[in-house]
Amino acid sequence: MAIVKEVEHTWECGRPIQIRKGIKYLVQCDNPDCKKQFFREAKQVKRANKLGQHNIYCDHRCQFTHYEGVCESVDYPDCKNPITYRQSTHNKKGDLGNVCFKCCKKTKTKLHNRKKRQQAKDKLYNLLGNKCTCCNQDDRMYLQIDHVNNDGAAHRESINNGGKNRTNPYSANHPKHLIKHLELFPSSLQILCANCNYAKQRNGGELYIPAK
């Protein structure tokens, strides 16, 4: 906040009319492209300091066009959109760093989708028992979803509409599709660990249970 000088001033108020004295400040717009000087009352300056608003502008246009740098998004390094003071202040409240609104929205959407996918995955594994059907392995790191009737390719093809809907190649593997498939065909899915799933594939689509 650039304060040029402080000025004493008087004004009339009340009934009967009383003369009061006070202080107002001559300040300068913090937008380097403007630098207009204007007056602010002492209570306005004190309120701005209390709220941590260290910059002051003559109008909203100057606030929105005060550029402080460019976007430094980690998820989208090619983005070079300018960062305004308004965006920078908003990002500091959410600890988002120097990220433009567009990248910030895309990052939040990605995190939201990831959270929803994990919730659907937890629900699916809970419905299927949270352990391998063949060897009872219950470590989630090793577990995979298997189609009992070996019709996984046909199921994914139906979700992708015969290959016409392939904007996201992983959409067919989203847990929400598997939950819906399980509701229609209750015994069509099972949990297998990575070893048992690979052994089933090598065994012609039949579960392989070793002798020992």
Residue 209 lies in a domain: no
Burial of 123 (C-beta count, 10 Å sphere; 0-12/13-18/19+): middle
My answer on whether 167 and 144 are in the same domain is yes
Q: How many domains does the chain have?
A: 3
Query: Could you say which of 88, 115, 142 is where a domain stops?
Result: 115
Note the helical H segments in 51-174: 60-64, 85-93, 101-127, 152-159
- Please give the residue range of the domain that contains residue 86: 67-115
- Can you give the pLDDT at residue 78? 86
DSSP bridge pairs for 5: 26
Residue 207 lies in a domain: no
My answer on whether 158 and 94 are in the same domain is no
Closest CA to 72 of 96, 108, 55, 90: 96
For 146-156, the pLDDT digits (tens) are 999 998 888 88
- Asked whether the beta carbons of 89 and 117 are under 8 A apart, the reply is no
My answer on whether 97 and 138 are in the same domain is no
What is the average pLDDT across 175-185? 90
Check residue 172 and report its DSSP letter: G
My answer on whether 46 and 85 are in the same domain is no
d(Cα 72, Cα 107) in Å, to the nearest integer?
Answer: 13
Residue 208 lies in a domain: no
My answer on whether 103 and 144 are in the same domain is no
For 27-51, the pLDDT digits (tens) are 888 777 788 888 887 777 777 777 6
My answer on whether 136 and 179 are in the same domain is yes
My answer on whether 138 and 186 are in the same domain is yes
My answer on whether 164 and 181 are in the same domain is yes
d(Cα 130, Cα 122) in Å, to the nearest integer?
Answer: 9
Residue 163 lies in a domain: yes
Q: Decide if pLDDT at 163 tops 90.
A: no
Residues 6+ apart with CB under 8 A from 149: 188
My answer on whether 151 and 173 are in the same domain is yes
